[in-house]
Structure 1
Amino acid sequence: MLALQLPADIEKRLDDLARQTGRSKSDYIQDILIEHLEDLQDLQIAEERLRELKSGTARTLSLSDLMKSHGLEN
């Protein structure tokens, strides 16, 4: 369980949305958190890959080789 205090203007917007759609505020908060967490995790992965590229430890493929490895060569 998580207790969360929101600024009044955000709480009002959330209340209005929940009332208009019939969904609960908790449903919206959960959806928002999941989406944002996924974005943050994607960013973390991208930053790690960039560090690997800069350090020379990343394995890279040309587009042609990548397509061939998936059976998509022309």
Structure 2
Amino acid sequence: MLAIRLPEEIKARLETLAKRTGRSKTFYAREAILQHLDDLEDLYLAERAVKRIQAKEQTAGLDEVEARLGLAD
């Protein structure tokens, strides 16, 4: 079970969409989450990587990663 608080404007739009299409609000909330979860995860990982680079943590270049994975030519 997941409870989500939405701004009134978004809630009204969701209700209107659900009524017009005969689908439930839950259907559209689920669809939105499924479609955007990958993007949100990618964004989070990218932000973490930027912070590591800015903190001068040890990073590896493409050549080094390829070599570690046995992908180097």
TM-score, normalized by the shorter chain, greater than 0.5: yes
1:45 and 1:28 map into 2 onto residues whose CA distance is 26
Measure how far apart 1:35 and its partner are: 4.0
Instruction: Give identity over the alignment, percent.
Output: 26
Ranges in structure 2 where 5+ consecutive residues have no aligned partner: none
Equivalent pairs counted in the alignment come to 68
Q: Aligned ranges for residues 1-74 of structure 1 at < 5 Å?
A: 1=1, 2=3, 6-7=11-12, 9-17=13-21, 19=22, 24-57=24-57, 59-74=58-73
1:50 and 1:12 map into 2 onto residues whose CA distance is 40
SS at match of 1:61: coil
Measure how far apart 1:29 and its partner are: 0.9
Please, what is the CA RMSD of the aligned residues?
2.7
Q: TM-score, normalised by structure 1?
A: 0.59
Measure how far apart 1:56 and its partner are: 0.4
Shift of the 3–44 alpha-carbon distance from structure 1 to 2, 3 Å rule, reads: closer
Q: TM-score, normalised by structure 2?
A: 0.60
